[in-house]
Amino acid sequence: MNQEVNTLSDGGAMMNIISKPVVLVSFIALSACGQAQGPDVQEGEWEVTYTTKMPGMTMPAATVRQCLTKEMLIPQQQEQPADCEVPKITVDGDTVSWEINCASSKGSGSVTYQGDQMSGTIKVNVNSGGMAFEMESEITGKRIGDCPL
């Protein structure tokens, strides 16, 4: 069953262009709260790795640990940029897909859960300072245990 949610972001710190794709998934966490059915995700502490590529360069992988719950489906690495909005989110089975619009970039992404694992991709077209380029981030994650108390 497809579920679609319209939402806007609010607050957050401005991020530099290179870090935005890693941060963009954070919008989904707030938007997915309260949906009747969600992906098959095991709650607990997760280790999530982001690998971002752009023309001529691959950024070093960034790995974070975070507690994920049914209310907080998508890992967040930093605060969300204030100039971005997420006009469309779709939950289809175990996959969460979204579109993102920022002042200097537009993109889309999706994350698929399989119980204690997740994987996904974010693609962002950036146009800033007269330069235009595409960035892609691959996301992989696994549940590593219960959340620390």
Distance between CA atoms of residues 134 and 127, nearest Å: 9
Q: Which fold has domain 2-145?
A: Porin (2.40.160)
Q: What is the pLDDT of residue 6?
A: 34
Domain edges within the chain:
2-145
Question: Given a cut of 80, is residue 29 above it in pLDDT?
Answer: no
Q: What is the pLDDT of residue 11?
A: 31
Q: What is the pLDDT of residues 69-119, one digit of tens each?
A: 877 765 555 566 778 888 888 889 999 888 889 889 999 989 999 999 999
Q: Which distant-in-sequence residues (6+ apart) come within 8 Å of 75 by Cβ?
A: 25, 26, 29, 46, 48, 64, 66, 68, 139, 141
